Amino acid sequence: MRNINQLSAKISARIAAGEVIERPESILRELLDNALDAGANEIIIEIENGGIDSVKVTDNGRGIEKEDLEIIATRHATSKIKDENDLYNIKTLGFRGEALYSIASVTRLTITSFDREKGEGNRIIIDNGERGKVEKAAINLGTIIQAENLFMDIPARRNFLKRPSTEAQSCKNLVIARSLANPSVTFKFYCDGALKLNFDKAENLKDRVMMFYRPMGIADADVMHLRGNDEEYSIDIIATTSAKFRSDRKEIRIYVNGRPVEEFSLVQAVTFGYGEMLPGGSFPYAAVFINDNPELVDFNIHPAKKEVKLRNIKDIHHAIVLLLKNGIERKIPEIRKEEETPFLFDQKPFISSEKKRDYTWPAHQEEETRKEYTLAKRVTEHPSNYNTESRPRDNSWIEKAKEIKRAREEREKADDSVIRTEEAEDNGIDFRYVGQAFNLFLIAEVNDELYFVDQHAAHERIIYDELLSKKSVQPLLVPIEIDAEEDVVKFLDENAYIYERLGIVLEKKDGKWFITALPAVAREIEEEVASFIALNTGDEKELESNVFAIMACKAAVKAGDHLDRYSAEAILEKVFKMEEPACPHGRTFVIRLKEKELREMVGRTK
């Protein structure tokens, strides 16, 4: 008896469809790709029951000719590529010729499109693989595609779908992802007749991304647009300053040639670029848009096209790190009252009562050309432009405080509890010490603002600066041996002078290195310093920063230590003279709260 069976075309089509179509989001992804490839600059998405009952996409693109409707949604039918060579130069979002065929195998698919050449509308219905005839239809622009009753004929697959609210949220997230990469396109998203997303056309990438960020409480001033390029690629990064961050990587978005992709190494590049500017376990909001030479990009890996292979990924990884490391501003976080923002999308998904508006496409509407973004720097050719000392600083807090100081000096009355600094050129700021909170935060009042200062990080930075400037050295009664591997010994043979400049005196006896003198602040952590020297090699800047960070951290007051008023004011006075309030590890240790914001939080208007 024969054991091998020849599957019918219908069954094999449904098996193949399972690789591409997993849920309503999969259908929407493919339909959006087709609409964007068709040059649409206005797209309306409508879903019913989370997309399980219906997913409908209406666009104003170039439309589909009647002859193409005759073979559309058949196996491997695509207008994107013609031969094998096209696979190595893909410039469209769709190209595999599987999407519509797969959707038509598991739904009732209706395609209605305007044929520009003939000036007429046509429609075809394909019900779970059963093709109807092409018929006349009333449409004067673009294309409307609707997929209904997903997996209705495959109950086992339908039972694996999630709740409608979950499926709807997944579709909504997809629309957001697609809209961020296409600022010149209007996206409207309806769920069960209610408008949930409304992305109008934007002038540029930052404006579009801000449409998404503002409802989350992120101000324009907290977001930067960084640009870099090379002969083979260009990079645009829309990212928050160090003042805004979250506890996960979900808002680090990577796009390659307009397509959102899952590529951990590039997400990692973003986190490396921020380095220690953010607190431990924190991550930025960042959207990275990479336009790479299509010949170096391979999307033909996964049916859903979520993965990508980049032949020049190491260069791109390095460029992202440099752009962020040298371009992101360190800013003092502010506590702000949440402000109302113009309607973009519901903060609580799928509760809006706003009903869908009737929409009619204009009679004539030309495709809007996507703007090209000129890039200001060539990262790989001019690395000198990206030295770590050129990172922009947020000095607005200092300038504002100086203005406050001048205003106060004009007033005749002064509070005896206010500390006066000697001269304006010392960058001194008049403040009033309020007290200590949780034995951790020092609170100071400067005119209409409260400043909260992390006492440990602040004192750590003060000691760090003193070490760099004074480097007071004390000899050791008993030299400390450095138990180093051969590579470190060779490094010290040539570079021991680096540590001497740091106040750490090294001497070599009988082939072994010893510490004979240290800065005074390091007297109780000699072993830790010796361990560091034994394990590390590198350039002078890196070594200086790391070894002094170790010494400053150990010597500084700790979280939980109670400080008397004199000690607290002494720390605050030095903090307010700093141009960049960050600890040696890179963490910003000051936040501020405006009196106006505080009053609004408790409902006080006067």
DSSP string, 365-411: -PPPPPPP---S-BTTT-GGGG-GGG--B--HHHHHHHHHHHHHHHS
Distance (Å, whole) CA 304 – CA 310: 17
What contacts 24+ positions apart, CB below 8 Å, involve 9-12?
A: 9/129, 10/105, 10/129
Q: What is the structure's pLDDT at 40?
A: 92
Q: What is the structure's pLDDT at 354?
A: 41
Q: Within a 10 A sphere around the Cβ of 413, how many other Cβ atoms?
A: 5
Name the nearest CA neighbour of 314 among 374, 378, 263, 385.
263
Q: What is the structure's pLDDT at 102?
A: 84
Distance (Å, whole) CA 540 – CA 497: 10
Q: Which residues contact 485 (CB under 8 A, 6 or more apart)?
A: 534
Q: What is the structure's pLDDT at 395?
A: 52
Domain 9-199, classified CATH 3.30.565.10, yes or no: yes
Cα–Cα distances in Å, from 100 out to 12, 106, 166?
15, 10, 24
Distance (Å, whole) CA 508 – CA 492: 9
Domain boundaries, the chain: 9-199, 205-349+372-390, 434-606
Q: What is the structure's pLDDT at 340?
A: 45
Task: Return the DSSP state at 276.
Answer: T
Distance (Å, whole) CA 518 – CA 388: 27
Question: Does residue 336 contact residue 597 with C-beta atoms inside 8 Å?
Answer: yes
> Per the confidence metrics, is the pTM higher than 0.75?
no
DSSP string, 127-184: ETTEE---EE----SSEEEEEESTTTT-HHHHTTS--HHHHHHHHHHHHHHHHHT-TT
Q: What angle do CA 323, 325, 326 make, to 5 degrees?
A: 70
* 205-349+372-390: CATH topology: Ribosomal Protein S5; domain 2 (3.30.230)
The CATH architecture assigned to 434-606 reads 2-Layer Sandwich (3.30)
| pLDDT tens column, 415-436 | 444 434 333 344 557 889 999 9
Q: What angle do CA 446, 592, 467 make, to 5 degrees?
A: 85
Distance (Å, whole) CA 156 – CA 149: 14
Distance (Å, whole) CA 55 – CA 52: 7
Distance (Å, whole) CA 571 – CA 226: 35
Distance (Å, whole) CA 210 – CA 97: 35
Distance (Å, whole) CA 402 – CA 405: 5
Decide: helix, strand or coil at residue 557: coil
Q: Which residues contact 490 (CB under 8 A, 6 or more apart)?
A: none
Beta strand 54-59 pairing with 143-148? antiparallel
Q: What is the structure's pLDDT at 603?
A: 76
Decide: helix, strand or coil at residue 336: coil
Task: Return the DSSP state at 246.
Answer: B
* Tokens 């009252």 sit on residue: 337
Q: Which residues contact 130 (CB under 8 A, 6 or more apart)?
A: none
Q: Which helix (H) or strand (E) holds 280?
A: none
Q: Which helix (H) or strand (E) holds 115?
A: strand 108-115
Q: Which helix (H) or strand (E) holds 362?
A: none
| 540-549 b/e (C-beta count within 10 Å ≥ 16 → b) | eeebbbebbb
Name the nearest CA neighbour of 549 among 565, 532, 564, 566.
532
Q: What is the structure's pLDDT at 531?
A: 86
Residues of the chain with pLDDT under 70: 1-20, 75-97, 299-306, 332-428, 468-472, 585-586, 605-606
- Say what the alpha-carbon torsion angle 259, 263, 266, 268 is, to the nearest 10 degrees: 140
Residues in the chain: 606
Q: Which helix (H) or strand (E) holds 471?
A: none
Q: What is the structure's pLDDT at 251?
A: 94
Question: Does residue 239 contact residue 251 with C-beta atoms inside 8 Å?
Answer: no
Beta strand 590-594 pairing with 334-335? parallel
Do 205-349+372-390 and 434-606 show the same overall fold? Answer: no
Decide: helix, strand or coil at residue 584: coil
DSSP string, 45-101: EEEEGGGTSEEEEEE-SS---HHHHHHTTSTT--SS--SGGGGGS--SS--SS-HHH
Cβ-count burial of 342 within 10 angstroms (0-12 exposed, 13-18 middle, 19+ buried)? exposed
